[in-house]
């Protein structure tokens, strides 16, 4: 209950960011694609092709506090903790002593549905690291994220 009140208070402080957070949580299922900035092909660079996908994640049943994830790098569904702050949504998967965190940072594209503008593409970062602070203070952990974090986007599985 306390966490829900904190989220509501934080969401009231920043209306535009708050709407984006609500859009991410209301999506239900998210599909995320990440590219590694370090794994570039010289030929792809020369001909102007985008970098190859590094990771594909599907977050299912996204709720205020939990979800499940399917990944191209590991078999099976795994539980995820969802931490929504005033500015971001963090999807945190515990992996032994380390964590995998996907953070939705801002809305890149929106569309109108039934008279309401909703976000249909989020800017995202994905990192695998050992910062245990992520579950307690996800925004602080995000600010200290390793430089090797993957950049990408997340979209609702169903847009209409």
The pLDDT tens digits for 89-130 are: 999 999 888 999 999 999 999 988 888 888 899 999 999 888
Domain spans in the chain, listed from the N-terminal domain onward: 2-156
The pLDDT tens digits for 40-78 are: 566 666 777 665 557 999 999 998 899 999 998 888 999
pTM of the model: 0.78
Three-state DSSP string of the chain: CHHHHHHHHHHHHCHHHHHHHHHHHHCCCEEEEEECCCCCCHHHHHHCCCCCEEEEEEEECCCCCEEEEEECCEEEEEEEEEEECCCCEEEEEEECCEEEEEEEEEEEEEEEECCEEEEEEEEEEEEEECCHHHHCCHHHHHHCCCCCCEEEEEEECCCC
What's the pLDDT score for residue 18?
65
């Amino acid at each position: 209950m306390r966490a829900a009140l904190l989220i509501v208070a934080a969401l009231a402080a920043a209306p535009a960011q708050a709407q984006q957070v609500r859009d991410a949580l209301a999506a239900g299922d998210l599909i995320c694609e990440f590219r590694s900035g370090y794994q570039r092909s010289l030929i792809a660079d020369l001909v102007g092709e985008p970098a190859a996908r590094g990771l594909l994640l599907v977050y299912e049943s996204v709720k205020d506090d939990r979800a499940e994830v399917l990944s191209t790098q590991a078999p099976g569904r795994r539980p995820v903790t969802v931490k929504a702050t005033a500015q971001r949504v963090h999807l945190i998967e515990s992996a032994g002593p380390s964590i995998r965190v996907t953070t939705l940072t801002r809305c890149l594209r929106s569309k109108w549905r039934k008279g309401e503008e909703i976000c249909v593409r989020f800017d995202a970062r994905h990192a695998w690291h050992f910062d245990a602070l992520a579950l307690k203070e996800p925004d602080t952990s995000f600010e200290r994220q390793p430089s090797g974090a993957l950049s990408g986007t997340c979209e609702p599985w169903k847009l209409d």
